[in-house]
Amino acid sequence: GNADYSIKKGVAKIYLSGTLDKQPMQMISQYKPQEEYAWHSKISIDTLNLSPHINMVNRQLPAFKEADQFLVELSKSLKYLGNKKVQADLSIGRLKLGGGQINHFAATMEADKSQAQWRDIHAEIYGGILKGRLKLNNAYPPTYSIKQDLSNIDVGNLLFDTIAYPYFSGIGNVYVDLKMKGGSNTPAAIEGDTVLIVENGLMRGLNIDDLMKNKANFAKNISHNTLGFNKNTVAPFIYFSMLTHWKNGIGETPTAIFESEMFNIDGVGRFDLNNRTMDYNFSLMGKLSAQSEPIYLPLHITGKIDDPQYTVDYNAVVRDAKNTEERQRAVQDLLEQQWNLFKQSKMN
């Protein structure tokens, strides 16, 4: 590589060009001791591959553990800044981290011995655009916060990389506002909010559209309470949104909406990333045909994230009943609805 420097009127400038991990890079730095950020640099790197420098063995949640380990190691290095503050404009053509890749990464980094932050982040990831900031505090354990807007991204790949959930696909937008304690290597360190909005996607596991088109199967499965999970089935949807509040690795969802051509679902529930389980109560409204009466079905989804169990929630049917008579009537109405579905399927 090449190196050069100059000193004029108390300002030092350093020019470097060469390779980093066999990839082209350039850096221009200047030192102005009288300014708040004594060191200011512009760094341009063609490709930065962090994967070989991170322990990637036995990862349950790949992206989370990998990023956590990298930020913990980075926080330890801040002490070497002493009383100096540094600022750098970063430009990285391709940033590789494990199995993923970030393209055209740009950000301004500011750091001192107590903290570092990357602001005005802009990058291409999961086929879409990422904007946001990241802040890292040099504490024990280190803490970091992240705010990001991701637009038009492949949400399926994002969910697989972050929570290892493989049964969702679609292009959408995600908002992230999270705080984490580093070094725990567990999702229990996560706190904050996430918002997920997807249009025209697919969810694997339970194709309710198909069940409703096949009236005999729908009536039979509902009456026997056997809406089983099948990873090979696909449920297309028009719109999906979910707001989740995270604390100690538990994600509480006060609102989730799922809309398809034949039915709408809304509900509440929780994800437990520590035990990789879920517990959601949904209300399904739909029609078997344009002429048929609307169908109401309360669903309870529980179990492992990658192997959930679907059941009819009869408790939800009687939840608002004031007495025994009303509870009996509510259950009778639901059973009568299922029986009418079954008779209609036999006639057709």
Q: Block means of pLDDT (10 residues each) for the chain, length 348 residues? A: 81 87 88 83 89 48 61 78 88 80 93 91 94 88 89 90 80 92 69 92 70 51 53 81 92 92 87 89 73 71 81 61 57 54 46
Dihedral of the CA atoms 335, 338, 340, 341 (nearest 10)? 180
Tokens describing residue 168: 């969702």
Query: What local confidence, expressed as pLDDT, does residue 87 receive?
Result: 92
- DSSP letter assigned to residue 289: S
Strand boundaries in 182-249, DSSP class E:
190-205, 230-247
3-state percent helix, strand, coil for the chain, nearest multiple of 5: 20, 55, 25
Within 13 Å of residue 40, how many CA atoms lie on the same side as its CB? 9
Which residues lie closer than 8 Å to 3 by C-beta, 6 or more apart?
Answer: 14, 15, 16, 17
Query: What local confidence, expressed as pLDDT, does residue 240 receive?
Result: 93
Query: pTM to 2 decimals?
Result: 0.75
Query: What local confidence, expressed as pLDDT, does residue 225 receive?
Result: 47
Query: What local confidence, expressed as pLDDT, does residue 55 receive?
Result: 47
